[in-house]
Structure 1
Amino acid sequence: MELFAVPDVPEIRAGDDLARIIAERVDLRPDDVVCVASTVVSKAEGRFADLDDFPAGPRARELAARLSELTDEEKDPRFAQAVLEESVDLVMTEPFLLTETRFGHVGVNAGIDRSNVPDHDLLLLPKRPSESAERIRAGIDADRVIVSDTSGRPFRHGQRGVALGWAGMAPSRDWRGETDRDGRELGVTVESVVDELAAAANLVQGEGDDGTPVVVVRGFEWGDHGESHAHYRDIEGDFVRQALRGWTYDPDTN
């Protein structure tokens, strides 16, 4: 398997045909997986915003005031309002906002970006990333597309690539029912392939000002495995989120 960046991708603007831009710059094969950073997907879809677009309500002002108190940094209540409007659930409200987006992803500040947005204050995540992936897939020669982002994860420092949306493939390989080297049947192993490919692509995409938002994964083989179409945990089986709902942040002990 090899990964390489699509060269010379220009600055993406609202209304740009992202699929055409990709197809013009690389010779794709049907079995390639094309990983596209959500930043350029959002830009093409016009997901720009300014803080003045989000007049702060009472809840946003309350959240911003509390975060300002905890961090000794002034927090803009308009930003808190933007996070609220892009979320369906506040998983944590301090010492930062951890939220569930409208398409199921859990991340800090609803994934709203404040970097690489030269003419606006904010860049919001794509509204429906899997639909975005399907539109790109329809306009290129590859059958599989992943829309990716970077985010942290519990229990570890740093960020890594994760899949927000995908098209042309199931998100996970299901190993349940297969056996290990000792003949024991696997009962719980479901491998999140789209996240693994997104993380691998992020090594090539880089961070900051690299300017390589599209990566081709060539030679990835699914293998003789079943598929799992579950990706985001249901609340009934998400024990970490359930625990957080009963947890209170104490700045004197944390």
Structure 2
Amino acid sequence: MEVQAVLLALIQGFTEFLPISSSAHLILPSVLLGWRDQGMAFDVAVHLGSLLAVLWYFRREVGTMAAAWWHSLRGGGHSAESCLAWGIILATVPACVVGLLFGDWIGDHLRSGWVIAVATIVFGLLLWWADRMARLQKTEYQAGWRGALWLGCAQALALIPGTSRSGITLTAGLMLGLTREAAARFSFLMSIPIIFLAGSHQATDLIGSQAVMSWPAVGVGVLVSFASALACIHLFLTLLNRIGVLPFVLYRLGLGAVLLWLMTAQA
């Protein structure tokens, strides 16, 4: 159980912030190895670890944005940091609305290996196209409210399993003309409220379910997902401008092909 928890937390931490679809990777252990679901408590734990990682990595930016946002809320005027903070808040709205209205339907009808495989391939190709056509001129502070709303709508698409939240928001950022690093940074900052809200929703369901929790697995989930997500964020931002998105696109195409083959073999 602990070995499975470590490996699943590693997968969650590394794939949460890479444009390669965490849901596509989390389905593989169950299909290939027959591993059962670790449970809702473990899901909350790995999301908490990922959230702590992005908060720690961007702690200075988050602190500055929070102070500037509070200053603007009290009528002190706007700055680049407060505008970015408001943009992050605006970008969170579409996913919340779509999740509340269609979350159950998506979970019942779209959470299949076929959907994950096709979405992994299709949205991987869209990422490649967006990178090829990108102007790569703007910083995250130049996205504006229309850009933030566009990024938020893209984030809502990530409710489709296999899309990849980081992948589709990176794609949308490149379409807006953001640099690769700016698009990635905006995507990471956008993840903070959405992971918090998703984790809070899961935690509420967990408390109401009175499920039995394996505290060692929960502890492993938090620590391993935190460490792997922190390493992932640093490496991705360090290497993105150097290697571009093509390696991730090719990886997605290969992963999608493997999933299609597995689904066909099981049919």
Common fold by TM > 0.5: no
Q: Looking at CA atoms only, which structure, 1 or 2, has the larger radius of gyration?
A: 1
TM-score between both structures, scaled by the size of structure 1: 0.30
TM-score between both structures, scaled by the size of structure 2: 0.29
